[in-house]
Amino acid sequence: MHTADVVLIGGGIVGSSIAYHLVAAGCKSVLVIERETAQGRGSTGKSMGGVRAQFSTPVNIQMSLYSIPFYASFEERLGYPCDYRPRGYLFCATNEKHMAYLRANYEEQVAMGLKNVQLVAGDEIRGMFPLLRGNDIIGGSFCATDGFVDPNSAMIGFMTWASDHGATLWKNATVTAIARRGETFEVTTTGESVSTPVVVNCAGAWAAEIARMVGISLPVEPLRRMLVPTEPFDQFPHTAPMIVDMSTGFHFRPESRGFLFAWNDPEETPGYKTDFDPGFIEKILTRAADRVPVFENVEVNPQRAWAGLYEMTPDHHPILGESPEVPGFFFANGFSGHGVMHSPATGKILSDLILTGKTELIEASLLNFSRFAEGRMIHETAVL
Ligand SMILES: Cc1cc2nc3c(=O)[nH]c(=O)nc-3n(C[C@H](O)[C@H](O)[C@H](O)COP(=O)(O)OP(=O)(O)OC[C@H]3O[C@@H](n4cnc5c(N)ncnc54)[C@H](O)[C@@H]3O)c2cc1C
């Protein structure tokens, strides 16, 4: 039987960031357990890599205010790249309701200390991107420090730094049981077992299965999300930010020599579906060509499109911190599609809570598990 001060179940970007933050804070006896033979086969490797501070709730904005500067200085801090590209996110509103929403969010973001966000007029957007169909765009908001990272590089950077400084990663080891033995847990895997006083659930879309092992019913549901990359395409500028058409939810960003298209299909239903549905291509291309008429000419190879899982909670905010029912068992779950951008903050918050019992990064009770039972859900509406 091995021992560790902290055991993290799941070696995606969240487990890796928590490992980094724990080790950086001086806790060296950290074990990350990953069931796959390589990291990144969960949601992290499927992500669009978008990072933004343009949220509607203060706690999400705060998480981004830690995470985005962290990504900007990632290589300096860790010695590994994360490919942060501050190209911005441009939200385009086509009706007064959406514009009022962006205005209210803008005021909240500025009040929280976000410096680079600005409201933009419809004419400015048409001037910046004449290839957008702009006749119905009445305005928008843009934040220059929003942008993209390479999720895989960030995850590997976090984990490699942690391993270089004392942490251990078990790959090809599926956690099958967690038993409470007095003050410690015995974590059983398909390989070896480990005894530890602290277990952190970092199992992404599979988090509810891990929670069930200690008798907790965790409200985290998998929801399929599909992305469509285009073939090389030069008729739209490759310097573009993430552009979000608020009338349909269609959004896209440059990727390699083409573009990456995303759209939240309202017909999608929860479940562990990771196959790509070819019928999605026509749905998304219709929305793409509607907002960017030259996208009528893009070519798409369905073999290159993919699907992954969002890990949804009822209020679209993560569940962070110690279980009130099972002391020593922590959650880092339910990012509802924002786990890459919020992984630096999550690592810091969990490391603070595990090592000192408190954190100054956010008001931790806002995101604790008890909020569901106590009717304190905080709805995020800026979900893409
Ligand atoms: C198509 C798509 C686009 C996205 N776009 C964005 C975006 O633009 N920006 C953003 O911030 N987020 C985005 N996300 C969400 C983001 O990818 C996730 O929130 C994030 O990757 C969650 O990280 P994680 O480490 O919690 O989960 P994961 O990366 O899924 O890692 C969990 C790990 O746990 C392991 N595991 C599960 N069960 C066990 C077990 N029993 N034993 C051992 N290991 C186990 C899994 O193998 C997996 O590796 C997107 C997601 C998808 C699917």
Q: 383 pLDDT band (50/70/90 cuts)?
A: low
Q: Which atom of ligand 1 is nearest the CA belonging to 14?
A: 25
What pLDDT sits at residue 369?
A: 98
Our answer on whether the CB atom of 15 is closer than 6 Å to any ligand 1 atom is yes
What pLDDT sits at residue 1?
A: 87
Whole-number Å distance, alpha carbon 65 to ligand 1 midpoint, is 21
Closest residue to atom 35 of ligand 1, CA basis: 10
Give the 3-state secondary structure of residue 92.
strand
Encoding tokens for residue 339?
A: 């786990």
Evaluate if residue 58 carries a pLDDT over 70.
yes
Our answer on whether the CB atom of 112 is closer than 6 Å to any ligand 1 atom is no
- The DSSP code for 159 is H
Whole-number Å distance, alpha carbon 268 to ligand 1 midpoint, is 18
Whole-number Å distance, alpha carbon 151 to ligand 1 midpoint, is 10
Our answer on whether the CB atom of 225 is closer than 6 Å to any ligand 1 atom is yes
Alpha helices in 112-194 (DSSP H): 122-128, 151-164
Evaluate if residue 384 carries a pLDDT over 90.
no
Please, what is the average pLDDT of the chain?
Answer: 97
Among 21-30, 301-310, 374-383, the range scoring the smallest mean pLDDT is 374-383
**Residue-wise pLDDT tens digits, 74-117:** 999 999 999 999 999 999 999 999 999 999 999 999 999 999 99
pLDDT, average across residues 129-141: 97
Encoding tokens for residue 8?
A: 């993290």
Evaluate if residue 127 carries a pLDDT over 80.
yes
Give the 3-state secondary structure of residue 218.
coil
Our answer on whether the CB atom of 241 is closer than 6 Å to any ligand 1 atom is no
Evaluate if residue 243 carries a pLDDT over 90.
yes
Give every CB contact of residue 190 below 8 A, 6+ residues apart in sequence. Answer: 35, 172, 173, 174, 176
Q: Match 């919020």 to its residue by tokens.
A: 342
pLDDT, average across residues 364-376: 96
pLDDT, average across residues 226-231: 98
Beta partners for residue 255, in sequence order: 258
pLDDT, average across residues 204-209: 98
What pLDDT sits at residue 381?
A: 72
Q: 200 pLDDT band (50/70/90 cuts)?
A: very high
**Residue-wise pLDDT tens digits, 247-257:** 999 999 999 99
Our answer on whether the CB atom of 335 is closer than 6 Å to any ligand 1 atom is yes
Our answer on whether the CB atom of 10 is closer than 6 Å to any ligand 1 atom is yes
Whole-number Å distance, alpha carbon 193 to ligand 1 midpoint, is 24
Q: Tell me the percentage of the chain whose pLDDT exceeds 90.
A: 98
Closest CA relative to residue 251, chosen from 287, 299, 305, 208: 287
Closest CA relative to residue 214, chosen from 187, 237, 243, 252: 187
Closest CA relative to residue 20, chosen from 229, 169, 240, 235: 169
Whole-number Å distance, alpha carbon 340 to ligand 1 midpoint, is 8
C-alpha torsion 332→338→343→346, nearest 10: -40
Whole-number Å distance, alpha carbon 71 to ligand 1 midpoint, is 18
Residue 329 · residue 201 · CB < 8 Å: yes
Tell which one of 16, 17, 21, 47 to mutate to probe ligand 1, the residue whose CB is within 8 A of the most ligand atoms: 47
Evaluate if residue 382 carries a pLDDT over 70.
no
**Residue-wise pLDDT tens digits, 143-199:** 999 999 999 999 999 999 999 999 999 999 999 999 999 999 999 999 999 999 999
Evaluate if residue 19 carries a pLDDT over 80.
yes
Whole-number Å distance, alpha carbon 203 to ligand 1 midpoint, is 8
Whole-number Å distance, alpha carbon 18 to ligand 1 midpoint, is 14
Beta partners for residue 312, in sequence order: 221
Q: Is the pTM here over 0.95, yes or no?
A: yes
**Residue-wise pLDDT tens digits, 286-297:** 999 999 999 999
Give the 3-state secondary structure of residue 333.
strand
